[in-house]
């Protein structure tokens, strides 16, 4: 074995050493937990109970409306690095009319927004509970003095109960790749 061959073998082994470092880096990074995923969360938000009465002075219009509305919010977050939140709100209004004409009105809405910040929790933390209670009350009388709106009074009780349970899963780094492949197919986890 000549000196040229020995030198070539040495250079080849040095390059292989760098390749070995690359392999070990991949294995090490592959087993690092960097991301977490919120699997599902649901919230009942903006529960509103209101009563509306209309009394016209001449008696031609007289009725009351009883309204309950609530937003059901469901969030699904799919990707640890590209967090997307699907926010589905559905509002239901139930009205009763005092003059013998009960009715019901349902209004639905869908909204979508995305967050760019990843959700990161410590390893081992599996569930996060988030509870928010908001209650507001409003009472006002309509000051617009038209023939129709005269005597319009509102009692509005607005309550909000947001209860959110979020599931987190610790994921290795390469799960990002896996989830990206998977996330294009379905909208919700």
Partner 1 sequence: MNTDDSPPVWGGRLERVRSFISYKMKDIRERRRDYLIRVALIFATALIDSAFFLGMVLPDLTPLPPVGSGIVFMVPVLSGLMLGLLLTEESYKMRAISGLYVIIVSGLIIFITLYWPVISGVAEDIGFYALWSLKWLMIAAIIITPTTLMGVLIGGSTAEY
Binding site residues, partner 1, CB under 8 A: 1, 5, 8-9, 12-13, 15-16, 19-23, 25-27, 29-33, 170-178
In the complex, minimum distance from the CB of residue 74 to partner 1, in angstroms, rounded to a whole number: 24
Report helix, strand or coil for 146.
Answer: coil
In the complex, minimum distance from the CB of residue 6 to partner 1, in angstroms, rounded to a whole number: 10
In the complex, minimum distance from the CB of residue 173 to partner 1, in angstroms, rounded to a whole number: 6
Specify the residue, 7 or 106, whose C-beta has the smaller distance to partner 1: 7
In the complex, minimum distance from the CB of residue 105 to partner 1, in angstroms, rounded to a whole number: 46
Q: What is the C-alpha separation between 49 and 155, in angstroms, rounded?
A: 9
- Annotate 80-126 with DSSP letters as a single string: SSS-EEEEEEEEEEEE-BTTT--EEEEEEEEEEEE--SPP---TT--
CB 158 within 8 A of CB 45: no
Q: What is the C-alpha separation between 80 and 119, in angstroms, rounded?
A: 7
In the complex, minimum distance from the CB of residue 117 to partner 1, in angstroms, rounded to a whole number: 19
Specify the residue, 17 or 135, whose C-beta has the smaller distance to partner 1: 17
Specify the residue, 130 or 180, whose C-beta has the smaller distance to partner 1: 180
Specify the residue, 31 or 137, whose C-beta has the smaller distance to partner 1: 31
Q: What is the C-alpha separation between 91 and 85, in angstroms, rounded?
A: 19
Here the tokens at position 27 are: 């294995």
Specify the residue, 58 or 181, whose C-beta has the smaller distance to partner 1: 181
């Amino acid at each position: 074995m000549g000196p040229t061959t020995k030198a070539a073998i040495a250079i080849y082994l040095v390059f292989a050493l760098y390749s070995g470092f690359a392999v070990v880096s991949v294995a090490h990074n592959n087993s690092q937990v960097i991301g977490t995923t919120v699997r599902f969360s649901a919230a009942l938000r903006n529960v509103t109970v209101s009563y509306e009465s209309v009394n016209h002075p001449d008696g031609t219009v007289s009725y009351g409306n009883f309204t309950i509305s609530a937003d059901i919010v469901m969030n699904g977050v799919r990707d640890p690095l590209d967090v997307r939140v699907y926010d589905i709100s559905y509002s239901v209004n139930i009205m009763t009319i005092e003059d013998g004409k009960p009715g019901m009105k349902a209004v639905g809405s869908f909204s979508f927004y995305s967050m760019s910040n990843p959700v990161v929790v410590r390893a081992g933390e599996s569930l996060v509970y988030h509870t928010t209670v908001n209650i507001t009350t409003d009472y006002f009388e309509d000051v617009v003095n038209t023939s129709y709106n005269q005597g319009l009074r509102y009692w509005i009780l607005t309550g909000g109960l947001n209860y959110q349970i979020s599931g987190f899963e610790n994921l290795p780094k390469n799960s990002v790749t896996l989830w990206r492949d998977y996330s294009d197919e379905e909208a919700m986890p």
